[in-house]
Structure 1
Amino acid sequence: MESEANFTLRSDVWSFGVVMWEIYSLGSLPYSDVPIRELLPYLSSGRRLIPPSSAPSNIAKLMRMCWEMPAESRPTFVKLDFYLNGPSKRSKSGAYDTRPPILPIKPQLSSTSSPINSPKKESKVFT
């Protein structure tokens, strides 16, 4: 493990695994028991975060996959998506549909029915 900052898609996959750990640990601070100066040797020795007990087994496995070394052995985001969502997102050609999902359109109020444009009712003041 290099001490230089080398940011790649594979390092982003590592970070994704850490984010998943943070989610399933309900916001705990990762590596909180490791002094910052010892973190690189800690990781270089092969030690990793322990997936939280609240994480389902498939998510715990995903975390471990994200932290594999060397970086080339980590899954791509496409493979992570397939792992999490299954083959249903693949088209007939086998390619992944990377477009965002189409969301239902909410009917909009016409300008005449908007509460802002509605005629104000006179309020009666009793004196």
Structure 2
Amino acid sequence: MDLLIRKNVPSGIILALKRLRGIGKILTKPDVTDYNPGSVSRSFKKFLERNKLPHIRLHDLRHFNGTMMLRYGITEREASARLGHSNLLMTKKYQHVLEDMDKESADKLNCIFKPSIDNALKLKEIR
């Protein structure tokens, strides 16, 4: 069973899905019957194996999505909407700080505490 995984869902679709929340499943078989959650995970595992990709859980893609949205500056509210969360606290559980993000933050803070020659010159000009 091959699953269609959609990326970059337009905001209009997200709004429509919010209006339809609670009406039923949005991922169904072509005959409109439900997939068994275990079969979806098995299909994903087979997809990884077939394409010689490392094993991850299907659910890990939600964490990856949340982390990439954090990494690339998507606001918490937008990320929360895309992940289908009703509050920002849940979204934060899906967003993880990566090593390069931590280094970037440290570099920004270092600029505050370690003035450069350029900053010293600018201070002189202001005075």
Q: Name the structure where helix makes up a greater proportion of residues.
A: 2
TM-score, reference length from structure 2 = 0.25
In the superposition, the TM-score normalised over structure 1's length comes to 0.25
Which is bigger in relative contact order (C-alpha 8 A, separation at least 6)? 1
Higher Rg of the two aligned structures? 1
